[in-house]
Amino acid sequence: MTTFSVTPETIQAAIVAALGDKLQRTSIALGEVEAVVSADNYHAAAQILRDDSGCKFEQLIDLCGVDYSEYKGGAYEGPRFCVVLQLLSVSLNQRLRLKVFATDDAMPLLQSVTNVWAAADWYEREAFDLFGIMFDGHNDLRRILTDYGFIGHPFRKDFPTTGYVEMRYDAEQARVVYQPVTIEAREITPRIIREDNYGGLH
């Protein structure tokens, strides 16, 4: 059983008091506090959560993107892209899940929090690479997992499983080239063996 030095209800009350009207909503699930802030208040809220004496979330454990376009079987109505931060207070032995939704689905843009938690650097690059979420103020926002010539963002729900381009070696040009995907959909029909004595079995 987890022993809390400060209960989730106490840290939730501290977060509500610290963020004030910057907090959109909060809840407790599975023993952890979740807080949602708007994109406009995201950076200011991050600084408060790190510096406020009742919060003390000194560490960013994780930051990832989420695509809600097919959430609840497509019945979800709301902003498509979300960024989720897992924060840890070493001082108070508490965790917080902080969520912020980008307001523009076509061009998801949020402020970078690399100047609040340096650990956000590669996580924001990953969210950009896989989901296409832009982070204003990030000083090196480039792909981190996919190749330099990669087109699209592979963790988006509408990204094709075959991708958009494929890479091959061109003997005439003596180099690797990109070209549109040539993979054709295959129909696989399982072969069924119906022999009476197959494999010597009776």
**Mean pLDDT split into 10-residue runs, the chain, 202 residues:** 73 95 94 95 97 94 96 91 96 93 96 97 97 96 88 92 87 91 80 71 61
Instruction: Tell the residue number behind the tokens 């807080």, with chain if given.
Output: 35
pLDDT at 107: 95
Distance CA 38, CA 26 (A): 12
pLDDT of the residue at 84:
98
| Reported pTM | 0.84
Q: What is the pLDDT of residue 5?
A: 66
CA distance 110 to 124: 10
- HSE, side-chain direction, 13 A CA sphere, residue 141: 21
